[in-house]
Amino acid sequence: MIIKRLRIENLRSHEKSEIEFNKGITVFTGRTGSGKSSILMAIEYALFGSESGILNSMIMRRRSNSTLIILEFEHMGKNYKVVRGLRRSGSSIQVDVNNLKILENDRPINILARSTDLNEKIIQILNYPKDVKPRDLFEITSYTRQDEIRKIIEMKPQERQVYIDRTLQLSKYQRTWENMRDVIRKFENMAELKAVRIENYDSLLKKIAEREAEKDEKEKEIEIKKLEYEKAVNDYRLCHEELIKLKEKVEEIIENKQRYDALNGKLVRIRDDIKNNERNILLLGDKISKINAEKDKIEIKEKLEELQHKRGELSSKRDFLLEEREKIKREVSRIMEIEEGECPLCKQKVTKEHIKNLEKEYKQRMDEIKEKLDEVDEEVKLILKKIELAEKLQEFERELNKYNSLLNEKKEVVNELIKEENEIKKELEKLGGEIKDYELVKRAIDEKSKIERESHIFVVRLESEIKHLEQEIASLNEEIAELKKEVFEIEKNRKEYEKLKNLIDVLVKLREDIRNIREIVRNKFLEDLRREFQQKFEEIRRYDREYIVDIKSDYEPVAYTSEGEEVPIQNLSGGEKTSVALAYRLALSNLAAQISGVMQSEILILDEPTIGFDREDIRALPEALRNIKTIPQIIIVTHEEELKNAADYKYEVKKEGGVSRIVEVT
C-alpha cells in the first residue's frame, strides 16, 4: 500500500488540511502539540474506523458539527479513495452515513452505508486474514508507535519473548493445549454412556457370515454365467456386425454394377466425342491450309499502317493543290472585275496588256496544278489498291489465328477425353473384379444368418439362468438384512464407542504434539527472523562491514566482530544501535506479514521514532533510514530537526490561534 493523498476537515486542531504524499521519505516536524500526530491518527482511522481504537470524540474538533477524512492510496496496481465522516447529534458523535464510501479507480464500490461494511471491504482489499485484528497487523507490519524502535531490543529477555511470541501468533499453541483438556474430558463422558452391555453380538454375526458365504457361492456362480453371457453377447454382436457388413457389401456390389453400366455408357459417349473432335481437327487443318495458300498469293512489302499513313499524306497534298487552284481562280476573278486603277497584286496600273499577261500567267499555273493533281490521283489509286491487299492479308492473319486457336482447343479437348477414357477403363477393370464376388457374398450371408440365430438362442438361455440366480441372491440379501437389523443398535453403539475411544486417543496424542510443536514452530520462526534481521541490517549498514548481527534463542539481538568476538548491543555506537533496532523492527514486520499471508509492507510509518534516543542515535537515524531500499514509502512524524536530513519531502506543522497548518519546507 502506498499513500497518495490525505484530506482532513475539523479533525482535532486541523480545520482544513490537505497533503500530497509521494514515494520516498516524508518528514513532518513541529513543536509538541502542533498537530503532527493527528495526521497519523487520521490515516489509521480512515483505514479501520472505530476498530483502530480511536474514539469519535477523540478526533472531532471542538465546537464543530462534522468531521471529514478522505484518504487516497494505491495497492496492487489500483487506486482507492476512502471517505469517512462524523457528525454531531445532540451530545453524541456518530458516523455520517452520507460520507461513508470507498472508490476503486474513481468508481464507487457498492457497499452498505455502515462502518462495518466499509471496514470489511478495506480488509478484503489489503488481504488481511479474518482471524487477526486489522489494527494490530497494520501496526506490526507498517506503523511503529512512539518508543517502539528501541523498546524491543531493550526489553528484558522474558518480556521480549512474550511480546514476539504474541506478535508471531505463537501463543495460540499454548491456548489450544489448555482448551483441549476440556474437549477430551467431554468425549470421555460420551464414551462411558456408549459402553452398554452387548449381547448376542457374536452369534448373530456368525449366522450372518453363513448366509453371506452362501450368497458368495451364488455370486461366484452368477459371475461365471455373466462372463459366459458377455462372451455370448459379444459373439452375437460380432456375428451381427459381420452380417451387416456382408449385406452392405451386397449393396455396394449392386451400386458398383450400376456404376459399371453408367461408366460403360459414359465411355461410349467419350469415344464418340473423341471421333467428332478428331473430325473437327481435320476440317480445321484443311481451312488453315487453304488460308495459307491464299495468303501466299499476296505480294506486298509495306505494312497496312505505313500505306494508310502514305494515303493520308497524299490526301493532304491533294487538298493543298485544290486550295491553291481555288485561290488562283479568286485572284483572276478579282483582276477581271477591275477596269482601271491599280492592280492589287503588283501595284501596277491596270491595262489590257497587263490583264492579258496575268491571264497567261494564271493559265500556266493552273496547268501546273492540274498536272500535279493527276500525279497525286494516280499515286492514290496505287496506294488504295495496296491498302486493299494489306487489309485482305490482315484478314487472313486473323482467320489463321482464330482457326489455330480452335485447333489447339480441340486438341486439348481430345487429350482430356483420352485421359478420362483411360481413367474410366481402370475403374471399369476394378469394378469388374468386385462384381464377380456377388454370389460368394450371398452364400456367406446365408451361413452368417444361421450362426446369428443359434447365438441369439444361447444368449436368451443364459439371461434366464442369470435371472434365476439373481432372485436366489435377492432372497439371501433379504434374510441377511433382517439379521443385520437385529444387530444394528448393538453395532451402532459398539462402533460409536470404538470411534470415541480412538478419537480420545488421537486427541490425547494431539494435545501432547501441540505442546511439542510450539517449540518446533518457534525455532522455525526464530530462524526466519534471524535471516530477515541479518538482511535488513546489511541493507541499512551496507557500507559498514565491521559487525555481523544475529539473534539468540531468546530473541536477543547480538553483534559479532569480523573476528567472531561477541559484542553486546549496548556496547555499540549510537548509529550502530539505531541500525540494529531499525533492522530488528523491519525484520519482525516482514515476518509478521508472511505469517498473516499479506503482501510485504510498502510503507513504514514512524511516530516520534527518536524517543529514548541520545543525540548520537538521533544523528545516525537519517542515514539508516535512507539506506532502506525495500520500503518505497516512509512517513515520519518527529519534533527533531535532524531528521529533516533524511527527507525527500519536508513539512512543518504549525499551530496558530488553535488551528494547525501544514507548510511545505523547501
Residue 648 pLDDT: 92
Coil/strand/helix, residue 169: coil
Q: Which residue has the higher pLDDT, 79 or 203?
A: 79
Residue 66 pLDDT: 95
Looking up cell 499524306 gives: 313
Identify the weakest region by mean pLDDT among 14-18, 56-60, 373-377: 373-377
Q: Are strands 557-561 and 566-567 parallel, antiparallel or unpaired?
A: antiparallel
Phi-psi region of 648 (alpha: psi -120 to 50; beta: other; left: phi over 0): alpha
598 pLDDT band, cuts 50/70/90, is: low
Mean pLDDT, all residues of the chain: 80
pLDDT at 99 over 80: yes
pLDDT at 26 over 80: yes
662 pLDDT band, cuts 50/70/90, is: very high
Question: Where does residue 193 rank: exposed (0-12), middle (13-18), buried (19+ CB within 10 A)?
Answer: exposed
Identify the weakest region by mean pLDDT among 83-87, 140-144, 224-228: 140-144
CB 510 within 8 A of CB 530: no
pLDDT digits (tens, 9 = 90+) for 133-173: 888 778 778 888 876 766 777 778 777 777 676 666 666 66
Average pLDDT, integer, range 176-186: 79
Contacts of 595 (CB under 8 A, 6+ apart): 168, 169, 525
pLDDT at 348 over 70: no
Q: Where are the domains of the chain?
A: 298-435
CA distance 68 to 62: 14
529 pLDDT band, cuts 50/70/90, is: confident
Name the pTM for this structure: 0.50
pLDDT at 521 over 90: no
Cell numbers given for 100: 461513508
Residue 59 pLDDT: 92
Average pLDDT, integer, range 527-554: 78
596 pLDDT band, cuts 50/70/90, is: low
3-state secondary structure 430-482: HHHHHHCCHHHHHHHHHHHHHHHHHHHHHHHHHHHHHHHHHHHHHHHHHHHHH
* % of the chain beyond a pLDDT of 90: 18
CA distance 52 to 84: 13
17 pLDDT band, cuts 50/70/90, is: very high
Q: What angle do CA 61, 1, 148 make, to 5 degrees?
A: 65
pLDDT at 14 over 80: yes
Average pLDDT, integer, range 229-238: 85
174 pLDDT band, cuts 50/70/90, is: low
